[in-house]
Each structure stands twice: as C-alpha cells, then as structure tokens.
Structure 1
Amino acid sequence: MISRAERLGNYVILIAFAAFALFPIVSILTAAFGPSDSGATSGLGNFAAAWEVGRFGTYLRTSVAVSGFVVVVSVVLSIMSGYAFGTMRFRGQSVLFYLFLLGIMMPSEAVAVPLYFDLRTLGLIDTFWAVAMPQVALSVAFGTFWMRAYFRASPRAIVEAARIDGASVWRTLWQVLVPPARPAIVTLAVLVFMWTWNEFLIPLIMVTSESLRTAPLGLAFFQGQYTSGFTLLAAGSVIVATPVVIFYLFLQRHFIRGLLQGAVRE
C-alpha cells in the first residue's frame, strides 16, 4: 500500500522532470511568437518571415521525400528480414544476424567518410540517393532486430496452422503475421521517421545543392547565413520540428501500444 507521502513525493518528482523537459519547448515557443529583434514582425509574422527568408519550403519538401522513402523501404525490408530471422532456420543465421547488430552499434559518424568516397566513386554524391540510401541501411539494422523480436514472440501455433492450411511463406507473413503486428510496425515507422527527419551529418556530407538540403541542415544554414537574431531562428526551429510532432501525435496511440505490447520481447 502506497502512503500519501510516497504518492506526493512521486508527483513532486514527476512534476519537476516535466517542468525540466517542457521549459526549453516553452522558451522556444515564447520567443517564436514574440516580437522580432528588429521589431518589424511578431506572432505568425515571424513564421512567415522565417519561411520566406530561410526557404524552408524547399527544405521541408526534401525532408518529407527522404523521410517517406526511408520509412517505407526500411519498414518493408525490416518486416521481411525480421520474419526470416524470427521464424526460419537456415545456415549462417547467427553470423548474419550479428552483422545486422553491428549496424546498430556502428554510429553514422564512423562510416560517413568512407561512405562518402564510395558514393563518390559511384557518382551518387549530391543526389537524393546519397541522402536516403545510407539512412535506409542504418534503419534496416535496427528494424530487423525490432521485428525479429516481435515475430519470435508471436505464437508458433499461428504460423504452423497457416502452413498446414497450405499458405505460402509470403502469405503467412503478409496475411497472418503482419495484421496483428501493426502496433509494432507503426512504432518502428515513427522511430525511423524521427531519426531520418533529425539526421544532420549524412545530408551535410553528401549534398551541396541547396535543393537537396533537409530541414535540419537548412536550419543550420539559416542560423549561420541569414540571421543572428533569436526570434526568427526560434520560428524556424518550430517550423522544422512541427512535422515530427504532427506525425507522432497522429500515430501516438499505435506507438504506445507497440511499446507496451512487448514489441521487444524475446
């Protein structure tokens, strides 16, 4: 039985952590809607000015294209590879799976420079693929681990029943296992989208054209080249962060279900 003092202490700790987490967000929003440093704009005018001066429309289109491509390709490949590792037995399975785990442990900073020279040899530098494909590879490594854990936790009786009924491997995956796995898949999609949207190093190294800059990279150039004022920079930060917030809020229920239903159980 939890005493009143313990309950009160828990609430105090939670409120303190919530305030600590929300303070930077509130500060940025307050600055973004406040009067600009020059006093020429305020409120929504700050966002209009930041949008026009910082060219965030172009950057957001690039980020949406890259993030959408990475999410779709990574999730589909992760489902198939996770299904193979989670339900099948084949030679070299353990070694191959450890190679996927190596992709999780290897930070992008460690492979960015060699990857740059490889893509330059292939003539892919300063292209959409130079930004998207490395992030697909990084995301599939985690996605395989995530979906493998889910499929290993799925009841074996369902898979065996499907095989007895004559279902093929593909039909078992897409019609039997994938529908109940929707919370885990949505959780993976949200995580990949956030990681891809916020990725800074790979676009910085791989592209030089302004039309291929992603939103975080464009925000950095906006800070360094266009304005030293904090108000428009805060407005630009809100513009860049808003799509991620909307995407998360739209899929929040499925995201939480995916975390709570044991998507990482073995």
Structure 2
Amino acid sequence: MIALLSTDSSRKISKKTKHVRSAGDWTTLILLITAALLVLFPLLVLTVNAFKTSADYNATGPLSLPEHFTVEGIVSFWTTTKFPLKFSNSLVISLFVAVAAVILSVLNSFALGIGRVKGNTWIVLAIMLANMMPQEALLYPLYTMFKQMGLYNTRLAIIIIFTIIQSAYGTYLLSSVYGTFPQAILEAAAIDGASRWQILRKVVLPISWPTISVLFVFFFVWTWNEYMIPMAFLMGDDVQTIPLALATLQGQRTMEATTLASASLLSIIPTVIFFIIFQRKLSQGITAGAVK
C-alpha cells in the first residue's frame, strides 16, 4: 500500500513538473510568436488594402484600417482577368505536375537508390547538375522543340516541362533517402517471394510516404508560382495561369493599388488553403526526416 501511494504521489509530482516552463522556454515561445507575426504582417497588410476603397488608400496610406469596406478590387480583378478560367488552368497544371513528378521521382529513385543501377552515382550527379541549370538557358531549346511538336501555347507543354524539372529535384532527394534504406528489410521481402513491384508498393512506399507528401506539396506550390516559362509558352488568354494574370495587372500603369492588392490576395489564397489541408502531412514529413 505504501509503495502504491508513493508511486501515485511521484506520478502527480512528475505531471506537475512537466507543465512548469523555464525562462528559456518562455523566451523561445516569445521569439517564435514574434517571428510568426513578422511573417504574417505582409499578408495582413495585403488583406487590409484589398478591402479598401481607392479614396481610403490615397488618404490614409497602406497601413491604416479601411474606413469604408468594399470588394470592388476583388470584383474588378475577378471579371477583367477571367479569374475562374485562370484558376482552373493553374490548378490543373499544378496538380498534374505534382502527381506526375512524384511518380517519376519515386520510380527513378527506386531504380537508382535501391535497384543499384550501374553508374547510379554519376546519374544522380548529372541530374543534380541539370537541376541547377537556370531556366533562362532552357527557354530557347524548349521553345524550338515544343513549337516543332505542335504543343506551343498549350497547358500540356507546361505540364511536361515542369514534370521533368520537378522530378529531377525529387529524384535527387529521394535517391539519397532510398540509398540508405535498410537492406535487411528488402532481403526479407525478396526471400518471401516479393517482386520488385511488390517491394516498392508494399515495403518502400509505406515507409517513405511522409517524404513523398512533402515533395507533393512543394511541387504543387512551386508550379503554381512559376512565371518565366509559362510567360514564354502560354500566349493565349484561355490557357494562361494566375501569376500571368497578376503580371498583366502590374504592367498596367493605371492600375489602382487596392485592385492590385486584391489580385495578389486572390492569387495566394489557393496555395494557403493547400498548405492548410496538407499541413499535417508536411509536418510529419519534416519530423520523419529529422528523426531519420
């Protein structure tokens, strides 16, 4: 009985001590909150100016609260740029690229990291060097190639280009991860009669899902924000993306600051929603990489 009472009391004491924060913990918490506010401050300013009238903006500047709430800037950007069409183009391109690039990255990395293809180190090095090449150097060769293929000014051209570009980075990252995959697990699966495809599907993929989820999120956001190559390849108004529509507004000298703020807010809302949806997967992937 005495032993049980002492055990219960020690548990209560340990629970109490766990909730006690030190001065270092409070300092870290305050610094993190301050950093979060600094990061969110531009978004807050953008949101405030998106719902201002032009008169309020000209009279009080960008840092004051709106005296008259309005959605004229959002409506103007929505109608003048055909926002639903631009949104669907960006969504289709980004989703297709993210899915296809992840699939290619997994297959390439499985062959290079686990399949032990001959000369895999040199192949990964070549992929890394190709990934470091600036997009400006790719414009003319890609333009000539897709013009001859009849895919110029199509969403398919952008999907193909960025699938290759993103999968190059994904292959470089995943191949290094798969290169350290425990060989004992792979040998046990092979002894049990599992084929290469079964090993990939039932052994490798379940363990690497967190990393793959991080790649999927990054590929989607990176493709959504791309501007240079889409600007050179998407000439038609019916195939352009949201960054191109936003750049068109910025090029107009008579564009009001409130309309530009509304356009910028609408352009980043989808990526913010996407991050919120996949936030748990993203944190799991980062944690898994840290633990590994």
Per the normalisation by structure 1, the TM-score is: 0.89
Q: Judging changes above 3 Å, is the alpha-carbon distance between structure 1 residues 124 and 70 closer, same or farther for their aligned structure 2 residues?
A: same
Q: Judging changes above 3 Å, is the alpha-carbon distance between structure 1 residues 38 and 3 closer, same or farther for their aligned structure 2 residues?
A: closer
The 3-state SS of whatever aligns with 2:186 is helix
Cα deviation for residue 46 of structure 1 reads: 3.3
Cα deviation for residue 37 of structure 1 reads: 5.0
Q: d(CA) in 2 for partners of 1:99 and 1:121? A: 27
Q: Which one scores higher on RCO, CA 8 angstroms, separation ≥ 6?
A: 1
Q: d(CA) in 1 for partners of 2:185 and 2:92? A: 37
Q: Judging changes above 3 Å, is the alpha-carbon distance between structure 1 residues 241 and 25 closer, same or farther for their aligned structure 2 residues?
A: same
Q: Judging changes above 3 Å, is the alpha-carbon distance between structure 1 residues 84 and 189 closer, same or farther for their aligned structure 2 residues?
A: same
Cα deviation for residue 134 of structure 1 reads: 1.2
Q: d(CA) in 2 for partners of 1:123 and 1:226? A: 35
Q: Please provide the CA RMSD for this pair.
A: 2.4
Per the normalisation by structure 2, the TM-score is: 0.82
* CA displacement, residues 71-102 of structure 1 (integer Å, 9 cap, x when unaligned): 11101010111111111222222221112111
Q: Would you say 1:18 and 2:36 are equivalent positions? A: yes
Q: Would you say 1:177 and 2:204 are equivalent positions? A: yes
Residue 213 of structure 1: which of 240, 246, 254 is its match?
Answer: 240
* CA displacement, residues 225-260 of structure 1 (integer Å, 9 cap, x when unaligned): 495101111111111111111111101011111112
Residue 216 of structure 2: which of 179, 185, 189 is its match?
Answer: 189
Given that 2:114 and 2:181 are in contact with CA atoms closer than 8 Å, whether structure 1 keeps it comes out as: no
Q: d(CA) in 2 for partners of 1:73 and 1:205? A: 22
Q: d(CA) in 1 for partners of 2:79 and 2:138? A: 35
- The aligned residue for residue 73 of structure 1 is 100
Residue 224 of structure 1: which of 242, 251, 257 is its match?
Answer: 251
- The aligned residue for residue 282 of structure 2 is 255
Give unpaired runs (5+ residues) of structure 1: none
Give unpaired runs (5+ residues) of structure 2: 1-20, 58-67
- The aligned residue for residue 127 of structure 1 is 154
Give the aligned residue type for 2:206.
P
Residue 181 of structure 2: which of 145, 154, 158 is its match?
Answer: 154
Percent identity between matched residues is 34
Q: d(CA) in 2 for partners of 1:196 and 1:24? A: 22
Q: How many residues align?
A: 262
Given that 1:47 and 1:235 are in contact with CA atoms closer than 8 Å, whether structure 2 keeps it comes out as: yes
The 3-state SS of whatever aligns with 1:178 is helix
- The aligned residue for residue 140 of structure 1 is 167
The structure that has the greater radius of gyration is: 2
